[in-house]
Structure 1
Amino acid sequence: MQAGNLKDRATLYSARTEGAQPAWPIIGSLWAGFQEPKSVGRGEQTGIRAADSTYVQMRYRPSMQQGQLLRRQGMWYVVESVEPGYNRSELAVSARRIIGSTAQYRQRGAVETTEVLAFITRENIYTGPMSEPRMQIELFQPQLPYPWGRRGDTIALFGGTFTVDGVVEGSDNGVTLKVLVTS
């Protein structure tokens, strides 16, 4: 491994910890080389995670594992796999970039808003007693204030304001959360 290839400074975060308030503690900083996927043959984005993986090269870290987060120059990545490199001194990491639009999240009754990455995953879902139209918005959890996804919270995205009606069952994967919203 050539040290010159490790030109990006990144912060490594732990996978989500459980407890009274979920958190993603900072593990430390590291030097890494990020190779973003080429645009040729790229699949269509269907969620907040990028369609293709980013290759990340770094020095060997025994604590590096799947589910951790990397942050580089304001961009977030979710570690998918960690493999030893050609020798024990390096790691080859596959990570998905979080690709979302900047939204403003406000908890019910709060004055302050929080900037969060969001992605509209589905539109015009008819649900509820009157078959009212809903949309699904996927949110990046580490940026959300806890408790998140409560009925009445609002999300300002693309010039519109959406009200959270509930969390999509089974969508909390420790990194993202899908909520049903009304406009």
Structure 2
Amino acid sequence: MNNNLTAVPHALSVLDREAHYGHSGAVLWLTGLSASGKSSLAMALELALTKLGYSCYVLDGDNVRRGLNANLGFSAKDRTENIRRVGEAAALFADAGLICITAFISPYREDRARARDATGAVFHEIHVATDLATCEARDPKGLYKKARAGELLEFTGVNAPYEVPEYPELRIDTSNTSIADSLQALLSYVVGNISLNRLLE
């Protein structure tokens, strides 16, 4: 780290931000295979939480790679850097008092642990544990087909590993559960763990 850098303190405290938004900041980190349902759940959760009065925003893998991380490829090194940047950005959202919902394959445990370290105690790892066969059968972008044909290298689940979370705060399997039911499980978890003060007034 550059020794010439000095952290600049904010005029607002964590409690100030909680009072403003009515809830604490947090990171809800959705991880799982491609086509597991991460993005669909993340976007549905953002809408549902906003209707309840939470302030939140989704960082999605494809969207981030179109801008912030457009210069990164899919090698193991670049994937690690992709998640490092997202983890730091998500931590800033949480520090600002918002709920940041992320939807990233984030296949490596070490990278997810680094994202947790960046955020601290308000990091919630949510494993969208849909099995490979179901994800490959869905294949909405045709990526599994390309990977099986050798046209797409370093694709998680086919020719690159996915390290299953060992102790996630929540595990959801969309193989036999609808998005609506999975969303309800997510909502129940969030409401139970991130209190909305305005609901108590």
Between Structure 1 and Structure 2, the one with more strand by share is 1
Instruction: Using CA pairs under 8 Å that are at least 6 residues apart, name the structure with larger relative contact order, 1 or 2.
Output: 2
What is the TM-score normalised by the length of structure 1? 0.27
What is the TM-score normalised by the length of structure 2? 0.25
Between Structure 1 and Structure 2, the one with more helix by share is 2
